[in-house]
A and B are shown apart, each in its own frame.
Chain A
Amino acid sequence: MTVLSRRDLLKGAAAASATAILTLNGAVFAAGGDRIGVALIGCGGRGTGAALDCLTADPSVEIVALADLFKDRLESCLKQLRESPFANRIKVTENTCFIGFDAYQKAVAANQAMLVIEACPPHFRPLHVKAAIEAGKHVFMEKPAGVDPAGIRSLLATADLADSKGLSITAGTQRRHQAHYIETIRRIADGQIGQIRSATCFWNGADMLGYWQWYEKNNLSGMEWQCRNWPWYTWLSGDHIVEQHVHNLDVVNWAINGHPISAMGMGGRQLRTLGNIYDHFAVDFEYADGVRVTSMCRQINGCSDRVCEYIIGTTGVAYLDGSNGRIEGAKPWTFTGQGENPYVQEHKDLIAGIRSGKPLNEARHVAESTMTAILGRMSAYTGNALKWDWAMKSSKLDYTPEKYEFIDIPEPQVAIPGKTKLV
């Protein structure tokens, strides 16, 4: 450890102004060799993956605390971390493993942690990120940023707080850290497809059962059953348009440099019988200046799959997907460079921001992209067309349950357009 202990640093930081913290952080990291203690909240597959990505990103990273709703999930995560090449940087002790709905509070308070990785079901994101920022921790949070307008409003307030405290909130919309995306969007901003006039984006892929475990009810309480099967419940995941398709909507918002002003969406359940989410959505978004965006997402096996974005400008079309970026039209171009693994790169960028005293705060971007998806979902569920401003300012939709405890709760209903009320 360095001369300045983590405890001293945090103690000092709590007393100092935001500016002072920046300088202090900068000074510490400039000196090099300091440890970056990480508390992981949400020890599922993605949380474990994010921890490993963070460990890969920088040799200073140490995992110091773990939190999850479920003991078995936490234990399997810890086992995986201890069996990884980074075993010597897993500094988790019995005293820094926390279980239950309040585990996050203990994790963000862990003195050894200066960075919190929040990878819980999206429902909990706004609450947990707020707690982490209030505790003075930098944050890496998975996408999406929430599941309802109430959560998005909370996260936006937290984004302001993070700025005022000089803290980072980096998000798991990893395309923003992927070389071919960055370069293509840079060229779009540079006018190489002219003015953007429309866009279309897709996440048409397989059913989640192919890559996520469905837990049977057995003797689980309703709450535990739903939380374990969180991707299938709107109140927990936001539905797949929010949970998964947010990636593509984020690219579109990034390219357009804005968010939609209205949305009209449709969706339904053609095959899905689990939980209460849909299995397909299509949304017509209107952006400023008459720019129109089509969003389509589907989780049905055996269909034509595509995951990509088309950005259409007055002089060209940009095409983007997970592996390539290219421009067709007046200034044709194809990305030929090499890129780092974006899941690692996002942690490198986060840590570089902390070290340079210029914390990377992506919370607003991901909050807007998440809200874009929420707007589409709300429209599809109710059959209403929606304005962004109304949803942001006036919608009372808030999926927070009365109590966070493992009791029997009713099975949520599947939305029926024309019947499900807009709130």
Chain B
Amino acid sequence: MKQISFSRRDFLKSTAAVSAAAVISQAGAVYAAGPEKIRLALVGCGGRGNGALSDCINAAKYLNIPVEIVALADHFKDRALKTAEQHGLSPDICFDGPAGYKKVMESIADVVLLVTPPAFRPTQFEAAINAGKHVFMEKPVAVDAPGARKIMEVGEIAKQKKLCVVAGTQRRYAANYRKTKFAIEQGALGPILGGAVYWCGGKLWHQERRDGESDADYMVRNWVSFTEMSGDHIVEQHIHNIDIANWFIGRTPKLAIGFGGRARRKTGNQFDFFNVDFDYDEGCRIHSMCRQVNGCYNQVSELFTGSNGTTYGSGPVKLIKAVDIKYPDYEQANGSEMVQEHVELLRGIIDGKPINAAKDVAESTLTAIMGRISAYTGQLVRWRDLTDASSNSPWYNLKLTPGSEEFENGTVKAPADDVIAIPGQA
């Protein structure tokens, strides 16, 4: 491990003095000459945000790259301060409130980790790319079709700006999943002709509203209970498995027919189970199943049936007629795909070979959104309803509110708890 030659405090003191513009040009210069350090910022200091920060620091250690944390933001001040404290950092680098992320974009950070509730991702991603930051962003990346399309658009700008974009759909960085993908690409499994993807598990946490709490604060604290914040659990959690279907099949579904309901949930307005028939055309249909209900059968996996055999997403590939597959060795830093994704992000920055996952993760987010809209409304939903303005679909411009805009201008009105979508009446 290479020693960092300057103290954290010195670094922060000096960076505080420089302007954002200066930082960007400086950053470019640094890389051209070989990086000395990479400066990190985190937006969203909850459990996953702190986890992502650790993963990134571990990835840097793995690569022997010095990193510095230069800015932290969270809706709640105490969350940001806690993260600062954990890393022995000054409270001065902490920002809070719905616009706190803007301060982060003005910082000298090279890489910004975007780990707030998904509703905020498109706006924050755009701000990060506009500010010339490399980005790690958690999944999902939007809660509605306009948001997902925004991610795709901004992802293209990131490409032009040669910025790295990595998303937290970490199975794409797991050695076992990559082996399965390899076998599929080699044709061993044959065309995928069916399958099922599952995230069936227990309920997540939920938060009751506190006395006197603002709607905005309540929604952020209880964000995994509100569709407007999380996209509902089919989007927020099950995207992982849907992402594997899109990745392995190599395209997005054309149609979705989904069901869902709310059997046991207490707060917010989400369903707690979904089933979607995703029609990928060419005779390939995938059944997506997700549930957050305690006391039920749990399964988190992806299962595919090809013309020559079957496989789980993580393997092994079981063939009807065995073929010898010579798998490459896939790197998995510290044995963790969640570290590996940051390794590839940092390596892309250092090597000047930016990788860009914006389109993939936006498509998988949108696939899950398509399933949710179908389940909420009871209607068949086409991919083009969400991606092609000429479809004249009411869902094309359907924007969930409150969103970034309402949070930033202080007009958040929380939806009623326990009032949910009724299929056939939406």
Contact = CB atoms under 8 A, between A and B. Distances in A.
| Closest 8 A/B residue pairs (Cβ) | A198-B194, A383-B296, A303-B378, A302-B424, A282-B275, A418-B295, A268-B261, A290-B310
Interface string A166-200: 00000000000000000000000000001101111
Contacts of B296: 382-384, 417-418
Contacts, number: 142
A268 B263 contact: yes
A418 B293 contact: yes
A195 B275 CA distance: 26
B380 A266 contact: no
A312 B289 contact: no
A312 B194 contact: yes
Nearest to A422: B297
Contacts of B198: 264, 284
B39 interface: no
Interface stretch (B29-37, B230-238, B299-307): B299-307
A160 to B, nearest CB: 33
Given A198-B193, A268-B261, A383-B297, A296 B307 contact: no
A10 interface: no
B294 A310 contact: no
B133 interface: no
Contacts of A303: 377-379, 423-424
B424 A301 contact: yes
B180 to A, nearest CB: 15
Interface of B: 190, 193-196, 198, 200, 257, 259, 261-264, 273, 275, 277, 283-285, 287, 289, 291, 293-297, 299, 303, 305-307, 309-310, 318, 320, 374, 377-380, 422-425
A271 B422 CA distance: 7
A223 interface: no
Contacts of B193: 197-198, 312-314
B416 to A, nearest CB: 17
6 contacts: A200-B285, A264-B297, A270-B261, A282-B289, A418-B295, A418-B296
Nearest to A294: B287
Contacts of B283: 310, 312, 316-317, 328-329
B87 to A, nearest CB: 40
Nearest to A383: B296
Interface residues of A, number: 49
Contacts of A200: 194, 277, 285, 287
B261 A296 contact: no
A397 B230 CA distance: 39
A131 interface: no
A91 B297 CA distance: 55
Contacts of A317: 283
A347 interface: no
A266 B264 CA distance: 13
A403 interface: no
Contact of B259 (A197, A282, A306): A282
A393 interface: no
Contacts of A261: none
Contacts of A268: 261-263, 273
Contacts of B377: 303
Contacts of A314: 190, 193, 307
A269 interface: yes
Contacts of B291: 266, 383, 417
Given A282-B289, A292-B305, A300-B378, A385 B257 contact: no
A284 B287 contact: yes
B174 to A, nearest CB: 22
A143 to B, nearest CB: 23
Contacts of A306: 257, 380
A109 interface: no
A280 interface: yes
A191 B314 CA distance: 31
A317 B305 CA distance: 14
Contact of A417 (B194, B263, B287, B306): B263
Given A264-B299, A292-B195, 18 more contacts: A194-B307, A197-B193, A197-B194, A197-B305, A268-B273, A282-B275, A292-B194, A294-B194, A294-B196, A300-B424, A303-B379, A303-B423, A306-B257, A312-B194, A379-B297, A383-B295, A417-B291, A418-B263
B168 to A, nearest CB: 26
Given A282-B287, A302-B425, A418-B295, A269 B306 contact: no
A198 B374 CA distance: 23
A304 B378 contact: yes
A252 to B, nearest CB: 12
A291 interface: yes
B93 to A, nearest CB: 44
B318 A294 contact: no
A138 interface: no
